[in-house]
Amino acid sequence: MTATPVTTRAGLFMAGVTLTHGDGDSTVTALDDVSLTVEPGELLAVVGPSGAGKSSLLAVAGGLTRPDSGEVSVGEADLVAATPRRLAAIRRTQIGFVFQSGNLLPALTAIDQLRLPLHLGAVTDPRDPMELLEEVGMAERATRRPHQLSGGERQRVGIARALMTRPRLLLVDEPTAALDRARSQEVVALLAREAHQHGVATVMVTHDHDVLHHCDRVLEMMDGRLLPHTD
């Protein structure tokens, strides 16, 4: 892959990113010279065995972990140089997270889950919560709380919540881990549709090889290195 300059309007740009955990003898290299560009509207899947560094990739791309070296930027925002305060603001406005099994807040109804990001700080041009809920097929469940929703429904609400602020980058962590085959297909198809329709650069980490056909590109993570996927 050709490295593009930071100033392009890429969704996600990473170059020469290295991250190690621990110190001394027990050092583990989580990311080893990782370079990656994800264009707006592209759905990238990252597969690989447990402990290969997939979650570290998400943590660094999402501004939750600062890499030891390398460049990371989302849109025009440089994640490596940003202060923790600025990082929080970037996460709030430019990055959407979809967690395993949705990680919705138990006290909030589906519609309030979508309103929540707008209360965490100023958001310019947010989506309309009801409209977005309808887009993910959850309009009829708007007043249900997470415990009243199925796993697939929770994941749909989680995806909608991540899209509320019109992020440049959507980071998706094992979205089908708790779902059966049919639901998994629906959820990933929804992610692909949202990515394409709204031009969101999307990185999905997954174990589930059955959903890869929805993705525009598939990479494999192996011992902290990012490689082309070979089936």
Partner 1 sequence: MFLALRELSFARGRFALMGSVVALIGVLMVLLSGLSVGLVNDGVSGLKQLPVSSFAFQQDVDKTAAFTRSVVDVDAAETWRAADGVADAGPFGLSLVNTRTDGGLDLDLALFGVERDSWLAPEAESGSALTGAGQIVLPDTLLDEGVAVGDVVTIDQVGTELEVVGFVGGQHTFGHVDVGYVDLPTWQEIRAGVRPGEAVPEHAYQEVSAIAVRNDGAGPDLAAVDGAAGMTSLTLTQSFAASPGFTAETSTLQLIQFFLYAISALVVGAFFTVVTIQRKNEIAVLRAMGASTRYLLRDSLTQSAILLLGSTALGVGIGLLLGASVSATAMPFALEPAPIVAASVALVVLGMVGAASAVTRITRVDPLTALGGNR
Residues binding partner 1 (CB under 8 A)? 50, 54-56, 58-59, 62, 64-65, 85, 88-93, 95, 97, 99-100, 103, 105-108, 112, 115-117, 119-121, 145, 173-174, 177, 205
Closest to partner 1 by CB, 3 or 105: 105
| CB 99, min distance to partner 1, A | 6
Closest to partner 1 by CB, 56 or 184: 56
Closest to partner 1 by CB, 177 or 213: 177
Closest to partner 1 by CB, 126 or 196: 126
Residue 117 structure tokens: 């990001």
Q: Residue by residue, what is the 3-state secondary structure of 94-129?
A: HEEEECCCCCCCCCCCHHHHHHHHHHCCCCCCCCCH
Neighbours of 206 (CB within 10 A): 23
For residues 222 and 48, give the distance between their C-alpha atoms in angstroms, rounded to a whole number: 6
* Closest alpha carbon to 42 in 226, 181, 160, 214: 214
Closest to partner 1 by CB, 49 or 227: 49
| CB 121, min distance to partner 1, A | 7
| CB 3, min distance to partner 1, A | 26
| CB 199, min distance to partner 1, A | 21
| CB 63, min distance to partner 1, A | 9
Contact 191, 204 (CB under 8 A): yes
Closest to partner 1 by CB, 4 or 116: 116
Residue with tokens 């809920």: 133
Instruction: Name residue 162's amino acid.
Output: A
Sheet holding 12-21, edge to edge: 28-38, 12-21, 69-74, 77-78
